[in-house]
Copies of this chain bind each other. A is one copy, B any other.
Amino acid sequence: MGRPRWLSKEEKRAWNAFITAHALLFQRLDQQLKRDMGLSHLQYEILARLSDTPDRELRMSELADAVQNSKSGLTYQIGQLEQVGLVRRRNCRNDVRAVYACLTDEGMAQLERAAPGHVAMVRELFIDAMTPDQLRALADGLGEANRRMRESAAESAGASGLEAR
C-alpha cells in the first residue's frame, strides 16, 4: 500500500456533488413526504417494496435487506406501520421463526396517494436537472460501484463468517 493519494480537484468535485446532492435531496423528499403524508422516507420505501411484490408481502429479513436497514430497525418501523394499519404481520407456516410483513389495503391506498407527489419531486429535483447522457453515465458509474461493493461484501462475509447488519 503506497503513500495515500489525495483526491484531485475533479475527483473532489464529484464526491462533493454526490454527498451534497444526497443531503439536499433527502432533506426535501423527507420533508414533503412527512408533511403531506405523515410518512418518513424509510416508511415510504417499505411500503413501496412490499407493493412491488406479487403477494404484497416479504419476510422481515428480506425486507430489511431490500431497504438497507438493520433488522432491529425494521422491527421498530414495522411496529409503527402496524399500529397505524398500513402493514400487518403474519407467521410463516413452514418456518416458525419467520415473519412476513404484509401490505394492507389501507397501506396500498396510502402508498398510491403518496407516490405521485413523491415521484414528481424526484423528477423535478433529480431527473430533470440532468441530461439523459448524464443520467446514463451516473447510472452506469454508480451501478458499477454498487456491484463492486456488493461483491466485496459477499466475499468478506464468506471469508470470515461474519454477518453485519
Which A residues lie at the B interface, using CB under 8 A? 1, 4-7, 10-11, 13-15, 17-18, 20-25, 27-28, 31, 68, 115-117, 119-120, 122-123, 125-127, 129-146, 148-150, 153, 164-165
Judged by DSSP, the binding face of A is: helix
Q: Could you show 17 A-B contacts with beta carbons less than 8 Å apart?
A: A4-B115, A4-B116, A7-B123, A10-B139, A14-B136, A15-B127, A17-B143, A18-B126, A21-B145, A21-B146, A24-B145, A25-B149, A130-B142, A130-B144, A134-B140, A137-B137, A138-B138
Contact A11 B141 (CB under 8 A): no
Q: Which residues of chain B have C-beta atoms less than 8 A from A117's C-beta?
A: 4
- What is the oligomeric copy number? 2
Contact B14 A127 (CB under 8 A): yes
Q: Which residues of chain B have C-beta atoms less than 8 A from A150's C-beta?
A: 24
Contact B7 A142 (CB under 8 A): no
A28 to B156, CA, bound (A): 13
Q: Which residues of chain B have C-beta atoms less than 8 A from A22's C-beta?
A: 18, 22
Q: Which residues of chain B have C-beta atoms less than 8 A from A122's C-beta?
A: 7, 15
